[in-house]
Structure 1
């Protein structure tokens, strides 16, 4: 009876504290978790013996009370974690929006009438899988960013290596576009070109990069400084390299805010605390240094910095590569919630096609500096038209159905200093034809909203003649 009473009372206290902490968050969460952590410091059995000795001759009820007062912290932490997990589910977010429990969301480029359509639970699930219809204010609007035949060369002693070759890509407001391909295909080179972060020996040799109609490549240093972080932000591949190791997290966030906004340092610090809370980090971590945070927390800090000035476009260069799958899932879920709330567009660069299928509206595939396929996420993954894309998609094992033999892509990537005539993929392509050795394919329509650069899909003019 004593054990049952103690367990029941402990569960009630743990449930009340854990759920309250996880649901209300903010200051309530900090206070309750501080008390919980203090209680966890005291060893339970010695504390029980000391209290029993202090109270003298105790009965079963007092023992139950002592057990209750010393056993609830572990349960409270578990309940808080479960509450946080459920609180971030799409059906909770959608239900809160429909009932008015969540404040009105201001999505740039999205009409208020479309808000319920965006927030509905089935479509939220579809958004995570990349299998939903184009969103109003996204695909149908004018491009937020337009790359027009952008080429990037690396000038080296042995010649010129073209890392991006006349890449044409549009990103619309509130859209998520994924770029995939093997290492060295030009994904990160294009990302650095969009933000004009290249240094020698890299050279943007041709093309235009238009942000809301303004040519980024023609901006003055002052205009470029004003545009970075405020209009276009970047999340780098390695958070530990992106953060300054000798400056606190708070100082680094404040530097971004103070450089672009006429606010006091106290106001910038308060904004930094809000940003950390937004990505699931305690406000007290503002005083921490990067090495004091885990890999997942550092990545959240970099995302928080990218959101500091509410940019309309965030370029994410393999943001989850160094993280385990559990932390990766948590970060991507938080990023999806932030995107739904603030309506920014994302250029998401990764090797993980499965992850792209969950979060991206469209997916582009790059090979040897060329954009070889582009289309809706579901279309590219379920009906790939370029042999290279087919090889990438076919390298992922299925968790359902019978076991099938997986086939890798033979050969090695081409040498950018010694490109072949015709198609760059010809030596590795199992379906090459004679035209592949003579004519370089161009990105042409291969279906509704689907483009591919392959002679098997779009025969060259000489073959049609």
Structure 2
């Protein structure tokens, strides 16, 4: 908690917003002791700012500065009280509905929806007519009218958390529902609670000022809303007495601005994807550091990677995840890339299509595809290059497929982006491709959730082949599949490769799988390509200690295939792993 607060204070948004809000809180707490009585008639009506009255006087002769300072106390007190109550009620109702489900969820959700469809202003007017005048009425009215939206937000979060293992463990341990809600679920929503409280406070201040300006508050009290109400009654705008309402308006705007900055800072702190990533090295560096030997591809190679280095920019500085890698892939070849998690496999595969995130950059080397320098392509040329010449099968088929589009529409989007195909021709091509990967053409009208994992992965392969690319990058496409489905899928890939003639870069941590599938296999360790050889020679005559260590970790390969490393080899391989593997941010390989 202390580290989180320290990081929050280092953020510029949080610093500016917090400073502004703290200033207003200090004014609200101690300011009334240093100003005049805001209700006493001190001077002439509509008197402009002067040395006697710094902010001028109202239409009744009251000091505007005193009214602005004193009005901050009740306005902010009601705002924070309503913000806390709306957050608390909304969180308890929403989490209870989401966690308990069934009849409780039905009843609470119905109640929430009823409150959401009732217009807020009429509800506030009705409630205000039956409650005694004063701050309590405003707190009750705004809480009653504002909790429902928060309940829906917290319910959605509770639905996503209730299936987690830590909740199941609490149930097995015999914890009560109340304890699970307050001790298990709520702490995991700390960031949501904080941002909701800030947002609800902003809502409360705005709604309170609006209702009081319309005369629905206690017009005898001194608040920012009643200041505006009396400014309107005194015809301040018509008499051009701008000083009566401008100070209050500026204060309301600054409080809203400070709360907005704090809410944004909390969102960025708790959601790293919203933060501006550290600036990566410019891609232009590639051309400045490339050596003359890197200019030419290997004769006959479809893909030539030359001395490629990739770095991620982190808060601690640059982290190199691919280090001087060189490799070639021939037309029609299956090239396997193996290594443990964090070795740089997926990062290298993404670099071939220039799919690296903004925090990463190619800092050295070349990627040459059939004579084309991929690292130098313009955005327009890169768009035409992707999928038509090099395509990709992603690891998670369910995430790669759009859940709200049918398969046919997803094929149409891919084909239309590269040639303006009509929907009819796209659907015809989709049926052909689905048949090609062993699926029924009728599935063109199916949704992704209606398919099994293996079927979704076949759809991913079909999409990758839609534009007849010459190279397909497969990033761990069989990780989530069982052994039988893996075998069927790989057989289909081999058949399609022989039929269509494309090359494959197969990325996986499953070395035995590559030894059975690939023509050649490259071994990545800590971003370095330590060995490349045919599958047969790698199986029986691996040279690098790290490769032999990987082989020995799969006993089912057999003793003859992977001799048990001697203590000297184990010591060399272990020492080669130090320092620890350079892992890219977010667990990318």
Tell me which residue corresponds to 2:531: 373
Aligned residues: 282
**Secondary structure of 1:385's aligned partner:** coil
Q: Displacement of 1:333 after TM fit? A: 0.5
Describe how 1:268-347 pairs up with structure 2 within 5 A: 268-347=426-505
- Determine if contact 1:180/1:364 at 8 Å carries over to the other structure: yes
Tell me which residue corresponds to 1:147: 305
Normalized against structure 2, the TM-score is what? 0.45
> Which of structure 1's runs of 4+ aligned residues deviate more than 4 A?
399-402, 404-409, 432-437
Tell me which residue corresponds to 1:255: 413
Tell me which residue corresponds to 1:387: 545
Structure-1 separation of matches of 2:399 and 2:501: 28
Tell me which residue corresponds to 1:156: 314
* Compared CA separation, residues 401 and 285, structure 1 to 2 (3 A): same
* Compared CA separation, residues 405 and 214, structure 1 to 2 (3 A): closer
Tell me which residue corresponds to 2:336: 178
Describe how 1:53-452 pairs up with structure 2 within 5 A: 142-398=300-556, 429-431=570-572
- Determine if contact 2:412/2:421 at 8 Å carries over to the other structure: no
* Compared CA separation, residues 350 and 433, structure 1 to 2 (3 A): closer
Deviations 1:348-398 (A, max 9, x none): 001111111111110000000000001111111211111110001111114
* Compared CA separation, residues 167 and 434, structure 1 to 2 (3 A): closer
In structure 1, list runs of 5 or more residues that go unmatched. Answer: 1-139, 410-425, 438-465
**Secondary structure of 2:417's aligned partner:** helix
* Compared CA separation, residues 386 and 220, structure 1 to 2 (3 A): same
Tell me which residue corresponds to 2:37: none
- Determine if contact 1:395/1:406 at 8 Å carries over to the other structure: no
Deviations 1:231-286 (A, max 9, x none): 00000111111111111111111111111124322111100000001111111111
Deviations 1:197-248 (A, max 9, x none): 0112111111110111111011011101101110000001111111111111
Structure-1 separation of matches of 2:321 and 2:380: 28
Tell me which residue corresponds to 2:126: none
- Determine if contact 1:391/1:408 at 8 Å carries over to the other structure: no
Structure-2 separation of matches of 1:216 and 1:381: 33
Normalized against structure 1, the TM-score is what? 0.57
Structure-1 separation of matches of 2:577 and 2:474: 34
Q: Which has the higher strand share?
A: 1
**Secondary structure of 2:549's aligned partner:** helix
Q: Displacement of 1:288 after TM fit? A: 1.1
Q: Which has the higher helix share?
A: 2
* Compared CA separation, residues 432 and 179, structure 1 to 2 (3 A): closer
- Determine if contact 2:309/2:324 at 8 Å carries over to the other structure: yes
* Compared CA separation, residues 436 and 284, structure 1 to 2 (3 A): closer
Structure-2 separation of matches of 1:342 and 1:359: 17
Deviations 1:171-202 (A, max 9, x none): 11001100000000000010011110011211
- Determine if contact 2:526/2:577 at 8 Å carries over to the other structure: no
Deviations 1:148-181 (A, max 9, x none): 1111101001121100001101111001100000
* Compared CA separation, residues 337 and 161, structure 1 to 2 (3 A): same
Describe how 1:18-37 pairs up with structure 2 within 5 A: none
* Compared CA separation, residues 229 and 432, structure 1 to 2 (3 A): closer
* Compared CA separation, residues 435 and 191, structure 1 to 2 (3 A): closer
Q: Displacement of 1:146 after TM fit? A: 0.7
* Compared CA separation, residues 365 and 258, structure 1 to 2 (3 A): same
* Compared CA separation, residues 197 and 163, structure 1 to 2 (3 A): same
Structure-2 separation of matches of 1:433 and 1:351: 18
**Secondary structure of 1:330's aligned partner:** helix
* Compared CA separation, residues 332 and 220, structure 1 to 2 (3 A): same
- Determine if contact 1:155/1:161 at 8 Å carries over to the other structure: yes
* Compared CA separation, residues 434 and 317, structure 1 to 2 (3 A): closer
Instruction: Give the structure, 1 or 2, with the largest relative contact order (CA under 8 Å, sep 6 or more).
Output: 1
**Secondary structure of 2:331's aligned partner:** coil
